[in-house]
C-alpha cells in the first residue's frame, strides 16, 4: 500500500497520471485562469513602463554652503529627465533656496546640476545636469486621462532610489494651494502611494508617457496623492526655457473676496452674491493707470464672472501680456467698465 502511494506521488511530481483523484492540491482552477492572466498582463504592463521610464528618473540632492565653504545637504527629492542634454523637471519646493545641486542617475552616477528656472506658483522647476545622451522620458497629454485609469509613480521616497508604486486616477480637476498661496488648478488625484522624497518624480500612464509631476501628500490620509498635470508642466517648461521665469500678467492690486448686498445683486441681475474688493493699489501700476480705486468691487473680467482672487489669477495666467482687459466694477451703487493693460508680474 505504501509503495502504491509512493508511486502515485512520484507520478504527481512528474505531472503524470490522473490528477482528479488527488485532493488538497493547491493550484489555480481553470475557471480562475482568466483572472490570473489579467493580473499577469497588468504586471507586464507595469514592468514594461518601469523599464522604459525608470532610467530617466533621478534623485535630486540640495545643498547649501556652510562654514569653511563645505556643502551641507539640506534636502532631497526626485526629478525626471525630459531631454537628453540634461534638462530635468522637478518641484520648486525640492530645489528652493538651493546653493548647490546634484542628481544621481539609476546607474549610480552623480552629476552636478544648476537651476534653469523655478515657478513657485505651480511648484515646478527645471534644472540641468552636466551631461549629454541621458535617458529621458516624454511629456504626454494629461487631458486624455480618465478616472479609473492605471497610473504609475516612480521616485525616491526616503532615499530609496527607483521606487515604484501603482494606482488609478481617482479624480481630475482638483485644486491645491502652492506654498506661494496661488491656486494650482487641474490637479490629478490618484491612489498611487507617495512618501517624502517622491516629490518631483513622474506620474506615468500605461504607455510610458509622463502625465503628471508628483507634488503633494496629505499626511494621515492613506491612498491620496496629487500630481501637477503634464499640460501645466509643458507650459511652465517652455516659459522657463525661454525666459528663465514664468511670465504672468498682474493688475497691481491686493484684493479679497467680499459678499454683495442682496439689493445690488437683484437690481443689477448679478449671477453671484460675491465679488472681489480692491484693498490697496500699487502706485503707477496697471490698475492705478486704468482708473481703479480702493474699495472698488470687481465682478467680471471680459464679461467672465469673478467671485474670488483665484479667478483673477487664473484669468491673467492665460492672458497675453500687453493686451487690454475690461473690468466690470461697482463703485458704490454705480456700475462701471474700466480698461486695463496688465503688466508682467515682478517687473
- Is 93 a residue of the active site? yes
Nearest CA to 233 among 147, 158, 126, 74? 126
- Is 199 a residue of the active site? yes
Dist. CA 174–CA 120, nearest whole Å: 18
Active-site residue (options: 115, 165, 178, 199): 199
- Is 311 a residue of the active site? no
Backbone dihedral region of 346: left (phi > 0), alpha (psi from -120 to 50 degrees) or beta? left
Dist. CA 86–CA 311, nearest whole Å: 36
Dist. CA 97–CA 62, nearest whole Å: 9
Active-site residue (options: 61, 76, 93, 165): 93
Rounded alpha-carbon distances, angstroms, from residue 161 to 56, 59, 61, 240, 295: 12, 7, 12, 27, 53
Q: CA neighbours within 13 Å on the CB side: how many for 327? A: 27
Question: How many residues belong to the chain?
Answer: 347
Active-site residue (options: 92, 119, 123, 205): 123
Catalytic residue annotation: 93, 123, 199
Amino acid at each position: 500500500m505504501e509503495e502504491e502511494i509512493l508511486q502515485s506521488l512520484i507520478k504527481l511530481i512528474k505531472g503524470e497520471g490522473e490528477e482528479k483523484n488527488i485532493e488538497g492540491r493547491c493550484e489555480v482552477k481553470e475557471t480562475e485562469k482568466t483572472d490570473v492572466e489579467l493580473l499577469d498582463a497588468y504586471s507586464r504592463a507595469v514592468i514594461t513602463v518601469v523599464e522604459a521610464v525608470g532610467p530617466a528618473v533621478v534623485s535630486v540632492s540640495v545643498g547649501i554652503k556652510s562654514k569653511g565653504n563645505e556643502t551641507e545637504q539640506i534636502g532631497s527629492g526626485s526629478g525626471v529627465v525630459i531631454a537628453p542634454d540634461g534638462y530635468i523637471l522637478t518641484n520648486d519646493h525640492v530645489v528652493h533656496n538651493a546653493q548647490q545641486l546634484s542628481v544621481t542617475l539609476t546607474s549610480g552616477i552623480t552629476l552636478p546640476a544648476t537651476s534653469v528656472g523655478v515657478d513657485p506658483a505651480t511648484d515646478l522647476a527645471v534644472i540641468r545636469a552636466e551631461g549629454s545622451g541621458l535617458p529621458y522620458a516624454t511629456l504626454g497629454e494629461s487631458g486624455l486621462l480618465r478616472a479609473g485609469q492605471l497610473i504609475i509613480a516612480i521616485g525616491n521616497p526616503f532615499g530609496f532610489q527607483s521606487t515604484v508604486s501603482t494606482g488609478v486616477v481617482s479624480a481630475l480637476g482638483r485644486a491645491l494651494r502652492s506654498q506661494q498661496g496661488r491656486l494650482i488648478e487641474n490637479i490629478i488625484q490618484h491612489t498611487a502611494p507617495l512618501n517624502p522624497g517622491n516629490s518631483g518624480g513622474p506620474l506615468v500612464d500605461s504607455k510610458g508617457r509622463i502625465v503628471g509631476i508628483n507634488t503633494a501628500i496629505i499626511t494621515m490620509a492613506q491612498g491620496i496623492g496629487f500630481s501637477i498635470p503634464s499640460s501645466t508642466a509643458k507650459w511652465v517648461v517652455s516659459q522657463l526655457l525661454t525666459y528663465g521665469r514664468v511670465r504672468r500678467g498682474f493688475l497691481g492690486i491686493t484684493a479679497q473676496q467680499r459678499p454683495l448686498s442682496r439689493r445690488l445683486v437683484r437690481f443689477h441681475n448679478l449671477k453671484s452674491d460675491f465679488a472681489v474688493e480692491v484693498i490697496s493699489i500699487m502706485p503707477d501700476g496697471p490698475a492705478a493707470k486704468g482708473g481703479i480705486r480702493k474699495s472698488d468691487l470687481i465682478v467680471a473680467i471680459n464679461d467672465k464672472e469673478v467671485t474670488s482672487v483665484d479667478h483673477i489669477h487664473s484669468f491673467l495666467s492665460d492672458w497675453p501680456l500687453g493686451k487690454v482687459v475690461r473690468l466690470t466694477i461697482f463703485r458704490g451703487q454705480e456700475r462701471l467698465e474700466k480698461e486695463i493693460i496688465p503688466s508682467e508680474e515682478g517687473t
